[in-house]
A and B are shown apart, each in its own frame.
Chain A
Amino acid sequence: MASDTSSAHDKHDEHGHGIAHVAAVKVLLGTWIALMFLTIITVAATKIDLGTNWNLALAMVIAVVKATLVVLFFMHLAYDKLFHTVLVVAGLFAAALFVGFALMDSGQYQQTIIWDTDKPPPAPIGPRPVP
């Protein structure tokens, strides 16, 4: 986003006469029906058992599809300036960064969490490198 070199004038040709793009009724209703259908799908998906991780992945894929539908058509991102899309991607990237690095740290220290104060878990004894 910061290296955005698209200057102030916007690239999309304004096929509507007004200031911004007018969403067609067909597009609005189509998106709405798709969203309702996907909601039903995601609820139904919990009936079939693919194991915790795959169910989570499936639910997330459906959620991402619903999210992109809302962002593209309801929020007019499809007809809007490119810079707004760059912005959305940058925001999600920052959030993903936060999640990724926080998860990166969780790998090691977790087995030393004390659930039972009398039985301390063994210390992470690492191999001693040859100096």
Chain B
Amino acid sequence: MIKTGWLLDTILFWTIFIVLFIGAFMAKQGKTLKLRELLALEGIREGVGRAVEMNKPVHFSPGAGTLLTGDWATQTVAAIGILAYTSRLCAKYGARLLVSYPYAEWLPLIEEAYRSGFLLEGKPEMIRPADLQPYLGGYYVFDTGVMRRLMDERPATVINVGPIIWDSIDIGETAKRIGAIMIGGTARLLQLPYVVLTSDYVFIGEELYAAGAFTSGDPMQINTVALQDLGKYFVLVMLVLGMILLAAGVPIIQWLSI
């Protein structure tokens, strides 16, 4: 029934999936778990505060890799979660938020996230549609566009999270040049090092996915993040157990690829 080679993956996937669902509903009965702090979210708070102090805007971009397919889509979703949080902070403290994005497919969600923060804080008069600027046609249009926008508008804080392509270096170095706080983050391991090279605060890999849940403070979301650790403990156990079983002569690798 199941394709060869996919049995274990399928079983493992559905197990994780169902455990996370159960965990989310456990939160309704008051069983919540605790998380440790996320440094990069602290960075966003600090950055928005600095922007308000200096009377300069905050710039947000959700990464140039946003097509509607594959892993990139999921990372964009996570980035939009951070946009919603940023817009709420900006509304609360009164900073102007500039948003640049590279693909029109995400327009409805980006616009909604941008507006939602100002509406939730009860400041609809701060919404400026012209601050949402699309740069369509590919990464190069987006990167040159953001580079020019940063040099012209000189924001105090630059946030570039999501499925980043080459904007890591371009935006990061331009932000350095104007002396802005740079907050980067991606789950694309190939760009992550360059983000680390150029940013002051970084969402490393899964932290990007988790950030939305961290910001919400909603126990259901926090439980889904916390229960991921079960998976990590599973991997740790599998590593040690696998080594022992392998030493004992059990063909563990063949078992894992059924």
Q: Say whether A associates with B.
A: no
Q: Which residues of A contact B (CB under 8 A)?
A: none
